[in-house]
Each structure stands twice: as C-alpha cells, then as structure tokens.
Amino acid sequence: MFSFQVEHQEVQGQARIGKITTSRGEIRTPVFMPVGTQGSVKALTPEDLSSLGVEIILANTYHLFLRPGHERIARLGGLHSFMNWHRPILTDSGGYQVYSLGALRKISPQGVSFRSHLDGSSHFLTPELAIEIQEALGSDIAMCLDECTPYPVTYDYARLSLELTRGWALRCQQARHKKEQALFGIIQGGTFKDLRKESAESIVNIGFDGYALGGLSVGEERASRQEIMARTLPLLPKEKPRYLMGLGAPEDLIEGIDLGADMFDCVLPTRNARNGMLFTRNGPVIIKKAEYAEDPRPADPECGCYTCRNYSRAYLRHLYNSKELLSYRLNTLHNIHYFMELMQTVREAIAQDRFLEFKKAFYNQRKE
C-alpha cells in the first residue's frame, strides 16, 4: 500500500505539506530521512529514533548486499524485523555507492561490475538485481538503479549517462514483483538544463510512484544546484512525492522546500555529530573549540532535546576531545532532534501560509 496526498500548498509559493501512506505508517512531508547505512542510524537505537519523531529512515542497498547479504536478511524476516524498526524504510539502489568506488567499478549498459571495498571480491549489479535486493530487504520505498553523474562532466557523457539511467529505470520497472513496494525513478542530466528536462520527461513517461533528483551535492556550486532544482522540480507530477537525494544542509532543505520538494536524506547530521559539529538555530557549533571549555550553556539554549536539557557545552567538548563514545550518542541525539524539529516547524509554517516569513527569519537568526 502506497499513496501520497498534497494537503496544502503555500499561497505565495511552491512549498507544500502532504502525507505519504504506507502499510507501516504515515509520513508527514516535507520529511528528512536519517540515514541508516548498514541497518543502523549510527549511535542511536530505533527507540531513540521514534522518541525523536523520526517517521522514515534510509538504508543502503550496496552495503547490506555485501554484508550481511540480502538473502540472509530475508531469511531473518526482512530488514524491519532484522533491525527492530517497524516504521517505513526507503532503500537506495546502490548507484551512488558504486559511483563513489571510482576505479573499482566499470559501467556498461548491462549493469555495473565492481570490486567490494570490504574484501576486493567481484560483483555485478544490474537493475534487476537492485530490485531483487530491495524486495528481499522488504523496504517500503525502493529506488531505481541509476548512474550518478559525476561533476564536472562533459555534455556528451551526461547525455550517455542519462540514456543509461533511463534504460535501467525501465528494466527496474519491469523487474518488480512486489507491487506493494513503491518504486521511485531518478532524474539525472548533470548541470545541463536541457538534459535535466529530457531526463525528467522520459522518467515520468515510464511512470513511477515518486520521483527523485539525483546527481546533486557531488561538487557543483550551490547556485548551480539551485538552478537545477528550480528548473526540474516543476517538471515532476504534482500528485507524486518529489525527493532531493543527498541534500542535508539546513539551507538546502529550506531552499528545496521552497521549490516544492517533499523528501530529503543525508548523512550530515550523524556524520557531523561524530565530528563534533552541532546544528543550532544560530548556525553550527564546533564543540571542540577552546572557547567552550568552561561554557555552562547547552549547545542550543532554545533546544529541548535530551542533550541540551542535561549537558553543557563544556561537558560535550570534554567528551569529544577525550574520544568518549558517549560524545557520538549525545551529539547525534541533538542533531537528529534539530532536523526533526526544523521539519515540524516548516510544516506548521506552510499550513499557516507563512513559510516565506519563516524562511526570512531562519536566515536572519543564523546571521546573529
């Protein structure tokens, strides 16, 4: 079971709130999906995620395929049972991870041959196998296999990549067996406006449950990324979810929502937490700095998360500099809370037709 309903659109813009319905629960949009690469959002339990208001997480097909293996997970009852998370899961296709392997992979029209980053073993990922893996995992939303266009890239290569991604999308659609599992198509085309338009039209023509913009945050300038989003999102069906893959900076979320995007994911809140960077209303706090050595304030005085209610910047700095494992947990709790609260505040602003007012206040507060 999968459906999407737009509940309200901002009167003066494209920002909108909606509801995705799956057999494992509803997802309010716009939504940010924490990344649980290997079936785990690092440093947090599923109970932590639920308490933070997380309604959907993302898991990584490539990593779970290599370890422990999709067939083993299927024998153990599927990914939800395996990791004790009973709300929706979106699985990516593994295309981005294969892209990041560089010299360890070779792309052909049939699929991608690559060597595992774990043990050097050889594998061949096809669109059909990408669907097989995701169906075995039992995710609620699956993604088509695509080639993530690198940056910078020539026009000719971007066109070939676009055509490859379209062919793979068609094969993914044809390979589906579990119709209750939603399948999203992915738009590519690099930074070329005409190719993005062509890709959007061809992928929409195949027909999917939702649509994603891929090939973002791979090195392009923010202005270029903004233009891609502004030109491509309006080409996607209004009645289907629109997903900006891999975007996680708060500013990118706000800009994407302003242009009509519904779904986001990124490792930024969890990775930055482990690297000692905390997101706050006034901008990032780099907790390792000496200025926080005797600072009794919470990371964000306006935040109501567990970490900010109980611990000072001084203590968080001590934990981080001492390489204590508790640092990862407390910082991650805070960062995920920040993203969940940001999305909740955005949804409320859109519902009250004051998103543009909220956006202005968001940027002004970060300048203070």
**Which member of 92, 258, 262, 300 is catalytic?**
92
CA pair distance 211, 261, nearest whole angstrom: 10
Tokens of residue 87, six digits = 């709300």
Q: Name the DSSP class of 58.
A: E
Active-site residue, 92 included: yes
Interior/surface letters 280-295, b for 16+ CB within 10 angstroms, e for the rest: bbeeebebeeeebeeb
Active-site residue, 265 included: yes
Q: Long-range contacts: 304-310, Cβ < 8 Å, 24+?
A: 304/337, 305/52, 305/333, 305/334, 305/337, 305/338, 306/330, 306/333, 306/337, 307/331, 307/333, 307/334, 307/337, 308/334
Instruction: Look at residues 324, 333, 271 and name the one whose alpha carbon lies nearest to residue 298.
Output: 333
For 279, the enclosing helix (H) or strand (E) is none
Total residues belonging to the chain = 368
Q: Is 304 exposed, middle or buried (0-12, 13-18, 19+ CB in 10 A)?
A: exposed
Instruction: Look at residues 260, 278, 261 and name the one whose alpha carbon lies nearest to residue 269.
Output: 278
- Cis peptide bond upstream of 127, omega within 30: no
Q: Are strands 2-9 and 242-244 parallel, antiparallel or unpaired?
A: unpaired
**Which member of 140, 146, 265, 300 is catalytic?**
265
Identify the sign of the CA torsion 110, 153, 159, 212: positive
Residues marked active site are found at 92, 265
